A = this chain, B = another copy of it.
Amino acid sequence: MFKTIEWIDKGVRMIDQRVLPTREVYKTFKGYKEVAGAIKDMVIRGAPAIGVAGAMGIALGASKIDPKDFKSFNREFRKIVKHVAGARPTAVNLAWAARRMEAVFEKNRDLPTEEIKALLIAEARKMHDEDVLINKKLGTNGARLLKKNSTVLTHCNAGALATAGYGTALGVIRAAVEKGKNIHVLADETRPFLQGARLTAWELKKDNIDVTLIADNMAGHLMKEGLVDAVVVGADRIASNGDAANKIGTYTVAVLAKEHKIPFYVAAPTSTIDMEIKTGAEIPIEERGAREITHISGVRLAPTGIKIKNPVFDVTPAKYITAIITEKGVVKKPYRAGIKALFKK
């Protein structure tokens, strides 16, 4: 099996998700700016994975500070955190990872700087390992919701490639398959970045999970034909009322699921939940460049000079979500109370 992200002696090693599925290339990033660049350029993507990448980037940056005194160490550390946390705006996991690293820093500020550095590295590696365990728990919780011999539609890639391993939405599918449920996956190709075609199809095929690739606009037709039993997607940020930001197109799938009375599940670790915001309206939606729409692999698809829109995420209001699957349990409506209760566990 591949490794999405790994701490190695020389730096942070990642599989380059931009060249999948045709090439399996690993890159090692040796400084925090390079890690932030990898997040921004989508070498790595997926909310939990960029949380781990952010933590590792911060640990890497901190480990290379050569401080005169604590004051200068502190100043440099804050600069690194700010830089890494700003790499992408929508996923809350990056901010969450930054806060965890800052908490380790604060708690140990009286120790020698070399010890603080070691603790930061240990925390980042721990977050990696925790993420895999969280996904496995989340997977087990969600697998119960899927029926035997069912067809599950997913959008984008909320898989091992979007996390430290195992996956969230694909973790639910993996856990169901491991339980002997015969699951067939329909993967939306997920324009413009084609995470479904390039990543979900690749990792499920590698895992021998039965997958069929479709264009995004086919989901409605297949639902109408009775060929979809459930939808499971990941999330980049969930508001305290259950509204969920995820890859652009997720909201469309949610509306289709409602129209066809198909359950629509969001699978995400509790670190994806942002209790600071009341509704999804407060989630910033990243816009990316025109070239993602107008070109594929350098091939021009659209006329020169054409105007485009490229919002990268959308927000699915909680009312469309049948359940939110987390490592601490499955939450159903009313979400505000259910989500609050999760954090008391």
Contact = CB atoms under 8 A, between A and B. Distances in A.
Interface of A: 21-22, 155, 186, 188-192, 194, 197-198, 201-202, 205, 210-222, 224, 248-249, 251-252, 255-256, 258-259, 293-294, 296-303, 305-311, 314-315
Contacts of A301: 189, 194, 197-198, 296-297
Contact of A220 (B212, B252, B309): B252
Contacts of A222: 309
Please classify the interface of chain A as helix (H, G, I), strand (E, B), loop, or mixed, using the class held by over half of its residues.
mixed
Nearest to A305: B205
B213 A191 contact: no
Contact of A293 (B214, B248, B300): B214
B300 A211 contact: no
B217 A190 contact: yes
Contact of A299 (B221, B249, B299): B299
18 contacts: A155-B217, A188-B217, A197-B301, A198-B301, A201-B302, A201-B303, A214-B293, A215-B310, A218-B314, A219-B252, A220-B252, A220-B314, A222-B309, A252-B252, A252-B256, A255-B255, A259-B259, A296-B301
A78 B149 CA distance: 49
A299 B310 CA distance: 22
Nearest to A188: B217
Contacts of A211: 306-307
This chain: copies in complex: 2
Contact of A202 (B215, B293, B303): B303
A3 to B, nearest CB: 18
Contacts of A190: 217
B192 A215 contact: yes
Given A202-B303, A205-B306, A300-B22, A216 B213 contact: no
Contacts of A303: 21, 201-202, 205
Given A213-B309, A215-B248, 20 more contacts: A21-B303, A189-B302, A191-B215, A191-B216, A192-B215, A202-B303, A211-B306, A212-B308, A213-B302, A215-B216, A216-B216, A220-B251, A220-B252, A220-B314, A221-B248, A221-B311, A221-B314, A222-B309, A224-B315, A252-B256
A306 B201 contact: yes
Contacts of A212: 306-309
